[in-house]
Structure 1
Amino acid sequence: MPASPSTALHPGLAIVLLALLLSIQPVTTDLYLPALPALTRDLAAPVAAAQLSLSGLLLAFGGTQLLWGPLSDRYGRRPILLAGLAAYCAASVACVAAPSMAWLIAWRVVQGAAMGAVVMTGRAIVRDLYLPLAGARAMSKALTGLGVVACLSPLLGALLTEWLGWRAALAALGVYALMTLGLIARYLPETLLQRNPRALQPAVLVRTWAQVLRHPTFWAFSLLTTASYGGLFTFLAASSFVFIDVLGLTRTQYGAALLSNAFAYLLGTLLCRRLLLRVGLRRTVAIGGLLSLCGGGLVAIVALLGWHQAWALLAPFYLFMLGHGIHQPCGQTGAVGPFPQAAGVASACNGCITMLVAFGIGRWVGAHLDGSVWPLVQGIGVSAVALAVIAWTLVPRFGEPQAA
């Protein structure tokens, strides 16, 4: 049941628009990854600097959400969303024209800040429109759309880099954002029915942050999404160098490998919807934890056995991506579920925590890439164990999103 049935937005259109908004994150990372080795060579930059173009983007993405959240609670979702998409388009143009890695990193940081406004607002809109359990199902539908976009992005990025160069791949990010901006401006009404005029007052903001950060349900689901994204981001940060430079895949073959991972994630979101209807939220997350642990454990076993081939590492990682397709819709909606009047702040805190951890992972990966598969394997394994612990302990205990 929608939480705000008076909002004039068709349910099917709402899912499509949410999918477009949330998909800007995999477009920004997955379409960019096949171009990363090429732009690193072209700009004569070290690998660590290239990793900073990705981890810096995610640090800005996470940190700025702490500002975008209360702004959207004060002024509404629509103006923040339109401003974020417009800024993203401008930053994309600047990235295409970047003359050096330093300029590219700077504009990617701006792009990440703008992406923070878009994704944070999208998650808050889910809480505006739906009650928590219905929101998890709606989010899984939107993330199925994200899965389709994520399937297409790496292959498109690889083909554009192969045919037209890495700047063409970055230009595609701006085209996507411009198309999304037009659709949002035309079709998405304001979903926040009651703005909070005091949301930006320092004392109110501190109380709201404290209310969110003290809530055990918020932490259970935020740690779930953080651990899940941590495993995925380890793959994103390391895989282009491991699969192309170490294991010898072409850029097109690497794009196809990312496509197959995104397809596994898409299947995970479909599985999530079926499990939510049959066994409920907490048992769904527990099943996702089992898939994550099996996937990360098998990746480690394959590496220990010396099977350092692309297919051998990819096959078990599909299980991790199935689990990721369960954890993200459940975790993102569960984290904001207790806060119907402060969904922007809760969404922002969740996103900030996730991206701060991702930034740390990106810096660790950049420092430990050594021409082997082990940084990739170790990061995925740690995330898989953490996911299982969270899914089997914290979520069963604190997983009912009661209002704060």
Structure 2
Amino acid sequence: MLRLTSPATIVVLAALTALGPLATDMYLPAMPAMAEALNTGPDQVQLTLSLYMAGFALAQLFCGPISDRFGRRPVMIAGFSLFLAASLLCAFAPNIEWLLAGRFLQAFGGAAGPVLGRAAVRDIYGPVEAGRVLSYMASTMALAPALAPVVGAGLLLFFGWQSVFLLLSLYAVIMLFILTLLMPESLPPERRQSVAPRIILSNYRMLLTQRSFLGYTLINASGFAGLFAFLSGSSFVLIEYMGLSPFQYGIGFTLIVAGFFSGTLYSGRYSHRLGRDRLLWIATSLCALSGSSMAALAIFGVHQPWAVIGPHILFLFGFGIVMPQSMAGALAPNPECAGSASSLFGFLQMTIAALGGALVGQFHDGTSLTMAVAIGLAGLLSLLAFFSLGRNSDMSSSSAPPSATKKVSR
């Protein structure tokens, strides 16, 4: 068994959390080929991404509270088992309907990794140190979306789009092996809660009235909506409209993820020196500026790959700071229901992002305009959320007020 505070445990938690970006980013270069192979349109293939996010959001409402009762490890094992079965269903789907069903089940199982990975960090490291650890976890995790499109493009070229889902199945098998034999439980028995519906609903009600939780969650969800707008529309914009090859798309995506990676490193390095709220002010300002620049270029008819990739590198640098700091801020005051807090955080994040992605698919006009405007609006909303809710929130320090802990205890 690994030690809870060992660097190897952080790497494993990062690998568990990376399941989300792997399951979304690896098949992006294959989306146009999938539409052709399954004899359907771009809107239906884009729906596989939005449906995945919707299922991911819904599943998070359940897996967090269940893990608050039974522990993180058994729920993750069950989730990855379902993800494995669903990935095989996607790989052998004969039509778009079966693929949509497989993607939804994939999401339902895969939600356990990111939700419970975040909760485990809060279990182990506490409210202040969790922000720094999540930043470095995000740096490790950034390797997944950096490599995933390139790997997906290579698999598409040599083996066809089905091989992407077969590789995800193999990833699930490896994670199940590690969870079963090596991963310790992070939630001690004395901190476990009832799964009675009234307790779960009481926790969710408390979280939705907690200014700091709502503020940090909306900051994150707005930025993530910008990222998801890019995921939903970029393959059609950059490959079909602007003429990049799937491999060139993968290289461009890697440069964008390098921006995210740099942002997470900056977040980890300056977490103690600048503090959570100052870092979020810098990050949300950068997201708003870069997203607005991409939108302006598209509105004025500049439809070139650099006009999409360049601003989005800066947007992802900002989001690389936003993601770990807003996660830590939302979970900090809620140690007694960290699983529920992580679930609700992820549900709101994914729901808002899925709605944004669905709108990009619905109003896609063949150019970069719809996607760019959506990313610009997401950056501005993240900055607005910071100033209206997140800044100087009631929980930018290290511990929760006594009343909050009492309210969620038993």
TM over 0.5: yes
**Alignment partner of 1:341: what SS?**
helix
1:78 & 1:365 partners in 2: Cα distance?
36
Asked whether 1:117 is paired with 2:122, we answer: no
1:173 & 1:105 partners in 2: Cα distance?
16
1:375 & 1:94 partners in 2: Cα distance?
32
2:396 match: 400
Alpha-carbon deviation of 1:195?
A: 5.4
Q: Is the 8 A contact 1:60 1:113 kept in 2?
A: yes
1:3 match: none
1:128 match: 123
Out of 20, 27, 34, the residue aligned to residue 32 of structure 1 is 27
Out of 235, 238, 242, the residue aligned to residue 247 of structure 1 is 242
Structure 1 unaligned blocks of 5 or more: 1-6
Structure 2 unaligned blocks of 5 or more: 405-410
2:407 match: none
Out of 326, 335, 338, the residue aligned to residue 340 of structure 1 is 335
Alpha-carbon deviation of 1:51?
A: 1.4
Asked whether 1:57 is paired with 2:80, we answer: no
Asked whether 1:100 is paired with 2:95, we answer: yes
1:276 match: 271
1:295 match: 290
1:192 match: 187
The 1:259/1:372 distance shift into structure 2, 3 A limit, reads same
What is the number of residues matched between the two proteins? 398
Alpha-carbon deviation of 1:304?
A: 3.2
2:51 & 2:126 partners in 1: Cα distance?
34
Alpha-carbon deviation of 1:393?
A: 3.8
**Pairing 1:4-403 to 2, within 5 Å after superposition:** 8-194=3-189, 198-398=193-393, 399-400=395-396, 402-403=399-400
Q: Is the 8 A contact 2:72 2:120 kept in 1?
A: yes
Task: Read off the aligned partner of 2:51 and give its amino acid letter.
Answer: G
1:227 & 1:123 partners in 2: Cα distance?
19
1:335 & 1:178 partners in 2: Cα distance?
31
Task: Read off the aligned partner of 1:243 and give its amino acid letter.
Answer: L
Task: Read off the aligned partner of 2:291 and give its amino acid letter.
Answer: G
Query: Can you list the C-alpha shifts for 1:83-104, whole angstroms capped at 9, x where unaligned?
Result: 1111111111111010000000
1:212 & 1:359 partners in 2: Cα distance?
22
**Alignment partner of 2:214: what SS?**
helix
Q: Is the 8 A contact 2:294 2:373 kept in 1?
A: no
Alpha-carbon deviation of 1:359?
A: 1.8
Which of 122-131 and 172-181 deviates more? Answer: 172-181
Query: Can you list the C-alpha shifts for 1:281-331, whole angstroms capped at 9, x where unaligned?
Result: 110111111211221122123223322111222111111000010010011
1:114 & 1:397 partners in 2: Cα distance?
36
2:104 & 2:190 partners in 1: Cα distance?
29
1:4 match: none
Task: Read off the aligned partner of 2:263 and give its amino acid letter.
Answer: G
**Alignment partner of 1:308: what SS?**
coil
1:283 & 1:314 partners in 2: Cα distance?
27
Alpha-carbon deviation of 1:148?
A: 1.3
Q: Is the 8 A contact 1:69 1:345 kept in 2?
A: yes
Q: Is the 8 A contact 1:98 1:104 kept in 2?
A: yes
2:81 & 2:90 partners in 1: Cα distance?
14
Task: Read off the aligned partner of 2:115 and give its amino acid letter.
Answer: M
Query: Can you list the C-alpha shifts for 1:332-379, whole angstroms capped at 9, x where unaligned?
Result: 121111110100111000111111112211221121111111111111
Q: Is the 8 A contact 1:34 1:255 kept in 2?
A: yes
Query: Can you list the C-alpha shifts for 1:176-201, whole angstroms capped at 9, x where unaligned?
Result: 22222222222210100135665211
TM-score by length of 1: 0.95
**Alignment partner of 1:256: what SS?**
helix
The 1:281/1:197 distance shift into structure 2, 3 A limit, reads closer
Query: Can you list the C-alpha shifts for 1:147-167, whole angstroms capped at 9, x where unaligned?
Result: 112111110001111111100
